[in-house]
Structure 1
Amino acid sequence: MSVAIPFIVFLLVGAFAAYHRLRLAVWAALTFTALLACWLLGAHSVATAVAAAIAALIAVPLLIPAIRRPLITRPLLGFYLKILPPLSETERTALEAGTVGFEGELFSGRPDWQVLLDQPKAELSAEEQAFLDGPTEELCRMTNDWEITHVDADLPPDMWEFIKKNRFFGMIVPKEYGGLGFSALANHKVIQKLASISSVVSSTVGVPNSLGPGELLIHYGTQEQKDHYLPRLADGREVPCFALTGPFAGSDATSIPDYGIVAMGEWNGARVVGVKLTFDKRYITLAPVATLIGLAFRMYDPDGILGEKKDIGITLALVPRETPGVEAGRRHFPLNSPFQNGPVRGKEVFIPLSQLIGGEAYAGKGWQMLVECLSIGRSITLPSSGSGGAKMGAIVTGAYARIRKQFGLSVGRFEGVEEALARIGGRAFAISALAQATAAAVARGENPAVPSTIAKYHCTEMAREVSRDVMDVHGGKGIILGPRNYAGRNWQAVPIMITVEGANIMTRSLMIFGQGAILCHPWVLKEMKAAQLEDERERLVEFDRNLFGHIGFAISNAVRSLWFGLTGARFGKAPGDAYTRRYYRKLNRYSAALALMADTSMLLLGGKLKFKESLSGRLGDVLSQLYIASSMLKRYEDEGRPVGDQPLLAWAFHDCVHKIEVAFSGALRNFPIRPVGWLLWGLVFPWGRRAVAPSDRLGHRVAALLMNPNDARDRLAEGVFTTPCANNPAGRINSYLAKAIQAEPVERKFLKALKNSDIESLDFPTQLDEGVREGWITAEERVLLEELRELTLDTIWVDDFDPHELVAASHYDREQGKASREAA
């Protein structure tokens, strides 16, 4: 028997144990049993002995703690402490603030899919559904986005009153304080529906229910603050805003220059201890109309009034608008989407310590408070807004592409338009699943730090891509603004979503993988905490336990990556039905590869990894696409595995997988240590990259789904405002789809007969008269064609204006006054 056989057996047993993550003792027992069997079956005795000796040299010191810890663990602990990236207090706070959900499984290299599938289906309560069908529907009916964005640059007074009266600002406020006490899922559904008709209305409602005074008071406010402010916030007596961003501190909230000095001052006729605030904030939504300003600042106590600590730290406060020294009311004009947004300033504005959110006990804890609430707000408002716009864009663009004809064909029949429709449908499906998944996580009581950044970044980025394709399909219809245009304002609004609550560039390159690599990894955070224990013996024991768990984890992921790469992930245990089982297997492969890449990057780059933003961004893309794909599979399962959704799921899934491989490829080709990059490429892509973008055939199926009434299209439209009313041209066009399809055979018959006739009339009504007389169509079919012409005109018509209507009112008034004076 060949001398190589014992070594091959040794390697195969090791690979088997690593793939299944068997304990070291089990591996040792299997190895020696297999080698004994080789010897009994006549294997080369010397080779078998050498293989057994190698196994013993590995197993004995690793299995005996008294040998392993002083000889192996202690030197490795010293090396680890040298490469351990230093964590600032702000970074530590951010890591400790979030919870880990299923995203932790995706970082494990071997996801337990049952954890995902066992999560209860996200559903609204009867009360929440009634609010969505009642007040939310009515608010959408009241919305005239053209009047809001072009004429008034604001919501009309009756809408403001309706919003306050129906407690839209109090959706998250508990019922005991007069709020609606809705779940995060209900919050998501309301914002999604409002965003489908107007981004101004959705942001107006979204901000008070996101990061702001209400959210912070619920979690940290004193009882007195809750009793006073929460009822007033719930019913609209107080309109809140939260002032965080300033000229010198945008995404870097920890560097805010705004400050407050502890001092004595006057408040309500009494002399009390408080803070004199000096601040300059901008981009603050609702600031121009807010009556209660939440403010983040750095608090100092130079005179030691409160104690010995001079720099108390970032602190949050409630500042009533009427407080002397507060400057508010001016407005920014964000890309012709005039939601109430503007600067807030103040110099030596005095407030008592009782106005600090949480009171004096929470002075200096503002950063912790912010990061604990930021992920919740980031999980809801912006992903929901992106979802509402994308879903509405998919539905109405499908109808428009079917009704609008060029060269005698619906424009949606052209392959170039089909490609755009496929992207619109697939990405709208992905956005909807991702936004709902993060909202459901918050509703379950999680604080999803990593998923919130994924959702914020990718929902807004994909919404921009959807909006771009919607504009391309609509052509001139999309670029001519007016009451009939439902696409242009959304196109103007998407860059706003991408910019706010953390610029997307920074979110991708710094936050997604930066937080995920530590927070979601099964061993890294444990090792970091173990290495920082004060008791030397306890530190060694804990680090030893976690270190060797991590080593086994890394070896397992290397083996799993290679196996999945060699087999194309065609084998292995996976949930799902016959259609989706292959999808779960692919995600198993990329999960193992991500864990392998993350471990290698952290080991070899150490603290330098935080400065390798391109690498971090690409690995973040992999984690994001894994999470998005998981969200879509969860949605598919929750909906009962509908066959009609399979084209949407397939297109969006293949798009995710293609992006995963592109991201891996970029990370490996540009890995800072080139030989390591080549080695990792062999493990991740042993046959090279294989994933491709969704096929044209699949794209054709998605486009056809959007252009025809069907159950999958209806599911995609759930939760957006499709009611066909005067203020909703998109809803009207969507309602025309069935009639247009019904009339198409009659139209083809009529046009064919007209083309082959000698009728000279060029007027459409006269041509219809001739068609009835000639017997080409019946009187009933004539009515059908007349209706088709009317609905087609309503679909394709664009607005025009008298010149003075497009001139700014102030300029027009000046010109009119000048003309009057000249005439006089």
Structure 2
Amino acid sequence: MTTLVHLLVLLVVSGTMLYRRGALMTTLVANAIALVICSVVFEPSYVAWGLFIVAALVLLPTPLRKNLISKPVLSIFRRVLPPMTSTEREALEAGDVWWDGELFQGNPNWQTLLSYPKPTLSEEEQAFVDNETEELCRIVNDFNIVHKDRDLSPEAWEYLKKAGFLGMIIPKEYGGKGFSALAHSTVVTKLASRSCTAAVTVMVPNSLGPAELLLHYGTKEQKDHYLPRLARGEEIPCFALTAPKAGSDAGAIPDTGIICQGTYEGKEVLGIRLNWNKRYITLAPVATVLGLAFKLYDPDKLLGDKVDYGITCALIPTDHPGVEVGRRHLPMGMAFMNGPTTGKDVFIPLDWIIGGKEYAGQGWRMLVECLSAGRGISLPALGTATAQVAYRMTGAYARVRKQFKTHIGAFEGIEEAMARIAGKTYQLEAMRQMTAASIDLGVKPAVVTAIAKYHMTELGRAVVTDAMDVHAGRGVIMGPENYLAHGFVSQPIAITVEGANILTRNLMIFGQGAVRCHPFVFDEMQAAANTDKVKGLTDFDQLLFKHIGYAASNFVRTLMLGLTAGRLANAPTSGETKRHFEQLSRFSAALALVADVSMMLLGGDLKRRERLSARLGDVLSNLYMASTALKYYHDQGCPASDLPYVRWCVRNALYECQKAFSQFFANMPNSFVAWLMKLVVLPFGNKVRKPNDKLDHLLVAAMMKDHELRDRVTAQVYLGAEDQPLAKMEAAFKAVLAAADADRKLGKAMRKGQMQEVEGPQTYEDVLQRALQAGVIDSAEAELLRKAEALRDEVIQVDSFARGHFTVSALDKSGKSHSQAA
């Protein structure tokens, strides 16, 4: 009995210390004190003391531990460590760990999340959004851009150059705007609500491209020459990375540069002879300066002792001899300038390498470091804009459009789709703000921005698909009045670029997160690769036992939080959101445990088991998305109107986490470990439920009311003048709301037969006259109804064109496109 008491005490003390992430020495001391007290109160237990002494000998840093445990483990670790290319290593090392690290490690400090500054535009940035961005939105006509001109108008091109849209990220000292990432995101979001073509044209020079690369790596001479010209719009930049045989596998680009002697401006200089064939390059057809990624070789060792330098970036004027630009691709649903560029035996001076010759071979690192931040701004802004237009217009349309004598938003089938639109749009705005704000904090969160790029483009696609279903025929007939079609058709473009979404989900989010966000794995890999075997073993020994303690802590935390549905977790708030924080902590601990077990069980095979790693990436992604919804809610001052939206976002995220874990366990190669993990993570089974019908109803009701939440969630939507399609739908929506009480009176009277029956067809005006005669409504109410009906009738119409309006201008008489004929 005494031994059992001692063992139970050791179990409780060890479990408590592990749950609280106590240090090793602290845990050992606490157990020793507990054993001493038990020995005094009862009598000593030699079994318990023996176990404690053995544990101390194993766990304390001694030569015995190093040689008997760490050395064999290091040998195994080196064998199972997956091979890593230089491009993979540079991609892993790019960017920073941010809030994703807290979520991945199983014990997020929620107070840290809430203490991040609220994302806010400066007065200058807000003025630019309210004035210059509004004006550019007014100038562009998206239907003409896509279906007629296949380009921005000359007026739009001139204005975006003159107003500084192309130099938003360039510091003021070079003549740029020096705007924040949040401002960049906000401008692109507003432009995309009007024209995705205009948004892409603006976002590319401010995203991954020459300006950003010059800012971070350019020589003083390169910065002084190019940045002021880029800021003024005198230079139009593009950046060429993708090749026909190297898309997502950018490290396989076949484009080459050979260091050699050549002639430039009449002088013999050391330079590079380039050959390239690139495609999908945005702005290439109109670019005046070309950023180019290629593999650099020095077979004659003119630059140094190396032959193969690797990927390098250079900046080349497009009027330089041999540079070919001008031909176009035609991205579906948009008409932004995008096309191929080629060059054959093009000689450039060595100092055209971005950063100078010292940066020869550093191109891939430069690109992934910039991309780790940039992918969290532009493409997520497109997804957000598409969703915000869909949210605002679908809510209005569902209130305006009637079927079976009631507005279609009242039908539960419609409501189901609208609830998804509402919840996902709120989620998108929350993610947009928090992700952009992280970059403004000076962080380059590689995993967070990969999450944002993948999920925000996918959410945008899902939202506009639901909106199209609700609009039905109103959404599928193309024309100037259709405010959904271009977003619907063009959304797949954002899905495919800056890392195709399939690649991003299956390889990047967890693949990079598991290494970078884990507190020990990357350092263990570095120790294993250390050529100094003594130091490598010493470092690995220390890391290994910290890792063991971390894994044991995650096991205890996951079990206890699973058994209590997260109620043991710390939360920074009280009220309803307290449970949200607790549940997220529970799944965060589970992710930390399952990630460790899967890496130990599968080793290098986890890299190839993409569907397994993708599911763990889904858990991390949904934890991040729920975090952003909670952060946004608290940043807004915790308004009661937002609570249903926050509840929907968190419930949906928790449900997706549970689903991802269940699918992971169902497909683990070791069925016993899978069973054990599921028992620890989900001890009571799949108890998390999706948002229910009642919650869906609350979200949709807010979509169809004119109030602050609706305006805030869609704040960047450009409505335009009263003759524009979004403004007309908005006017009809407000007119219908203003006439709602009178409409209810009219409907009730008609159902109860309070109005004189008249045979034959009746116009709406006839009905109003009968209602006036019967005293059902007064003249003011009749006028409200008359106005609402007129606007309703206008906005439910679809575009039509005269016969012969369209001509086959893009085809020649042989039926081939111009590009084929050429």
Shorter-chain TM-score bucket reads over 0.9
Aligned pairs for 1:587-602 within 5 A: 587-602=584-599
1:768 positional shift: 2.8
State the distance in 1 between where 2:213 and 2:177 align: 17
State the distance in 2 between where 1:691 and 1:543 align: 40
1:568 corresponds in structure 2 to 565
1:208 corresponds in structure 2 to 205
Deviation track 1:520-579 (CA, whole Å, cap 9, x = no partner) reads: 111111222233334444333322221111110000001111111111112332112312
State the distance in 2 between where 1:413 and 1:812 align: 51
Question: Which runs of 5 or more residues in structure 1 are unaligned?
Answer: 816-824
- For residue 83 of structure 1, what is the amino acid of its counterpart? V
1:312 and 2:320 matched: no
* Deviates further, 146-155 or 31-40: 31-40
1:585 corresponds in structure 2 to 582
- For residue 465 of structure 1, what is the amino acid of its counterpart? A
Q: Secondary structure at the match of 2:190?
A: helix
State the distance in 2 between where 1:76 and 1:776 align: 86
- For residue 783 of structure 1, what is the amino acid of its counterpart? E
How many aligned positions are there?
811
Q: Secondary structure at the match of 2:783?
A: helix
State the distance in 2 between where 1:803 and 1:377 align: 46
Deviation track 1:205-254 (CA, whole Å, cap 9, x = no partner) reads: 01110001111111111111111111111111111111111110001111
Contact 1:313 1:365 in 2 (8 A): yes
Contact 2:626 2:653 in 1 (8 A): yes
Q: Secondary structure at the match of 2:716?
A: coil
Q: Secondary structure at the match of 2:151?
A: coil
State the distance in 2 between where 1:695 and 1:754 align: 35
1:558 and 2:537 matched: no
Deviation track 1:172-191 (CA, whole Å, cap 9, x = no partner) reads: 01111111111111101101
Contact 1:83 1:607 in 2 (8 A): yes
1:381 corresponds in structure 2 to 378
Contact 2:140 2:153 in 1 (8 A): no
1:772 positional shift: 2.9
Contact 1:195 1:201 in 2 (8 A): yes
State the distance in 2 between where 1:801 and 1:518 align: 57
1:243 corresponds in structure 2 to 240
- For residue 758 of structure 1, what is the amino acid of its counterpart? E
- For residue 680 of structure 2, what is the amino acid of its counterpart? L
Closer/same/farther in 2, CA of residues 355 and 85 from structure 1, 3 Å limit: same
State the distance in 2 between where 1:763 and 1:535 align: 91
Aligned pairs for 1:459-474 within 5 A: 459-474=456-471
State the distance in 1 between where 2:463 and 2:377 align: 19
> Among 707, 710, 718, which residue is 1:713 paired with?
710
State the distance in 1 between where 2:539 and 2:134 align: 56
State the distance in 1 between where 2:161 and 2:263 align: 33
1:634 corresponds in structure 2 to 631
1:605 corresponds in structure 2 to 602
Deviation track 1:75-95 (CA, whole Å, cap 9, x = no partner) reads: 222222222223222122122
Closer/same/farther in 2, CA of residues 803 and 14 from structure 1, 3 Å limit: same
- For residue 15 of structure 1, what is the amino acid of its counterpart? G
1:681 corresponds in structure 2 to 678
1:32 positional shift: 3.7
2:14 corresponds in structure 1 to 14
Q: Secondary structure at the match of 1:288?
A: helix
Aligned pairs for 1:281-296 within 5 A: 281-296=278-293
1:19 positional shift: 0.6
1:71 corresponds in structure 2 to 68
Contact 2:451 2:509 in 1 (8 A): yes
Deviation track 1:458-487 (CA, whole Å, cap 9, x = no partner) reads: 000111110110101111100011011001
* Deviates further, 769-778 or 335-344: 769-778
Aligned pairs for 1:418-497 within 5 A: 418-497=415-494
1:28 and 2:24 matched: no
- For residue 775 of structure 2, what is the amino acid of its counterpart? G
1:780 and 2:780 matched: yes
Question: Which runs of 5 or more residues in structure 2 are unaligned?
Answer: 816-822
Contact 2:219 2:356 in 1 (8 A): yes
- For residue 758 of structure 2, what is the amino acid of its counterpart? I
Deviation track 1:281-336 (CA, whole Å, cap 9, x = no partner) reads: 11111111111111111112223332332222111111212122222212112123
1:818 corresponds in structure 2 to none
Closer/same/farther in 2, CA of residues 551 and 811 from structure 1, 3 Å limit: closer
1:192 and 2:189 matched: yes
Closer/same/farther in 2, CA of residues 185 and 372 from structure 1, 3 Å limit: same
Closer/same/farther in 2, CA of residues 811 and 517 from structure 1, 3 Å limit: closer
> Among 119, 123, 127, which residue is 1:126 paired with?
123
* Deviates further, 530-539 or 296-305: 530-539
> Among 320, 323, 326, which residue is 1:326 paired with?
323
* Deviates further, 529-538 or 624-633: 529-538
1:57 positional shift: 1.2
State the distance in 2 between where 1:378 and 1:803 align: 44
Q: TM-score, normalised by structure 1?
A: 0.95
Contact 2:560 2:568 in 1 (8 A): no
Q: Secondary structure at the match of 1:803?
A: coil
State the distance in 2 between where 1:61 and 1:664 align: 33
State the distance in 1 between where 2:479 and 2:266 align: 53
State the distance in 2 between where 1:128 and 1:520 align: 33
State the distance in 2 between where 1:811 and 1:49 align: 92
1:648 corresponds in structure 2 to 645
- For residue 85 of structure 1, what is the amino acid of its counterpart? P
1:35 positional shift: 3.9
- For residue 458 of structure 2, what is the amino acid of its counterpart? E
2:740 corresponds in structure 1 to 744
1:791 corresponds in structure 2 to 791
Q: TM-score, normalised by structure 2?
A: 0.96
1:85 corresponds in structure 2 to 82
Q: Secondary structure at the match of 1:616?
A: helix
2:818 corresponds in structure 1 to none
* Deviates further, 54-63 or 340-349: 54-63
State the distance in 2 between where 1:61 and 1:654 align: 43
State the distance in 2 between where 1:410 and 1:17 align: 59
* Deviates further, 454-463 or 360-369: 360-369
Deviation track 1:375-397 (CA, whole Å, cap 9, x = no partner) reads: 12201100111111112211111
* Deviates further, 377-386 or 82-91: 82-91
1:168 and 2:165 matched: yes
Q: Secondary structure at the match of 2:603?
A: helix
1:736 positional shift: 3.3
State the distance in 1 between where 2:228 and 2:640 align: 47
* Deviates further, 381-390 or 306-315: 306-315
Closer/same/farther in 2, CA of residues 710 and 78 from structure 1, 3 Å limit: same
1:759 corresponds in structure 2 to 758
Closer/same/farther in 2, CA of residues 518 and 812 from structure 1, 3 Å limit: closer
Q: Secondary structure at the match of 2:285?
A: coil
Contact 1:390 1:428 in 2 (8 A): yes
2:528 corresponds in structure 1 to 531
